[in-house]
Structure 1
Amino acid sequence: AEDGPAVTQLIADCPPLDANSAYCNLLQCSHFRHTSAVARKGGRLIGFVSGYRIPDKANTLFIWQVAVSAEARGLGLARAMLNDLVSRSENAGLLWIETTITANNDASWAMFEGFARSRNAMTKRTVMFDRHQHFGGRHDTEYLLRIGPVGP
């Protein structure tokens, strides 16, 4: 939970990520610590991945957010944090990674597709939350990206 305030600031510094409440970030850093990862440089938080195992799909890790500070982008940090999550003993049995991404988020598509290639995993893209049906036109469509099997 000690990373919660730094996570809140990092996410605020990484538009267009949706800002969560400080309370939500504290819960992610405590209740979901086995399915979330942080990266530091010189004691400062420079990366965060939040995720959780989907309750009715225990072999699937849903990645909620990936935030990397401007200074650390393009260095493979996000992929390294995902690899760390998949390889943790607490996450034994994971076969699939799921996340949602908007169509215009080229950096996220590239990172997750690169992660899939690095693990020789397949990808499947479908609409999860539609701009009009789910967001009343106030948010872009969120596409579900399913990656797997990811293996240890």
Structure 2
Amino acid sequence: MLDVNSVYAYLLVGEHYSQTSVVAEVGDQLAGFISAYCPPSKPDTVFVWQVGVAEAGRGRGLATRMLYEILKRPACSHVRYLDTTVGPTNEASMALFRGFAAKLDTRCEEEELFASELFGDHESVDGEPHEPEILFRIGPFDTAAIRESAE
């Protein structure tokens, strides 16, 4: 389940990180999105902040295709790692990123990045205390090979 952010936060992501984020549409309907950026402290890394796929599009590989789309872009030509954080009960996201690492034939390292205590009294979308966030680090990989395989 996605953490809810302000409209302003999503507008900023679209404005500042359009080269590393993607929106998928079917007709005039939003089918999915990924917001991502390259952290200044890790120039060889793209950090995937959020992945969302509409219910009708789930289980069809849309999230994986969107990840490939981001990595094929010129803004990611220097990227060798993909980082993201996932809650420990988010089985769909864990499967997505572990599966993506397997498709890239590379490692997927996992370690706790943010303990649940760091979120204080902030509740998750379902009203439960916020879970810890597990860092998934996928790589190394070669984005040039990813671009070539897509052509």
Q: How does 1:3-152 map to 2 (within 5 A)?
A: 16-132=1-117, 134-136=118-120, 138-152=129-143
CA positional deviation for 1:48: 0.3
RMSD (Å), alpha carbons: 1.0
Q: Specify the SS of the correspondent of 1:18.
A: coil
Q: CA deviation at 1:76?
A: 0.3
More divergent stretch after superposition (134-143 vs 115-124)? 134-143
Q: Deviations 1:35-87 (Å, cap 9, x if unpaired)? A: 10110101211110001101111110110000000000000000000001011
Q: TM-score, normalised by structure 2?
A: 0.87
| 1: CA distance, partners of 2:32 / 2:43 | 25
- Structure 1 consecutive aligned stretches of length 4 or more whose deviation exceeds 6 Å: none
**Counterparts of 2:22 and 2:101, CA distance in 1:** 18
Q: Percent identity?
A: 40
State the AA in 2 paired with 1:80.
R
> Higher RCO, 1 or 2 (CA under 8 Å, sep at least 6)?
2
Instruction: Please list the CA deviations of residues 107-150 of structure 1 after superposition, one character each: whole Å capped at 9, or x if unmatched.
Output: 00001111111111101101100012x12363101000000013
Instruction: Kindly tell me the number of residue pairs found equivalent between the two proteins.
Output: 136
CA distance in 1, matches of 2:70, 2:61: 14
SS in 2 for 1:64: strand
What TM-score do the two structures reach when normalised by structure 1?
0.86
Letter in 1 for 2:133: E
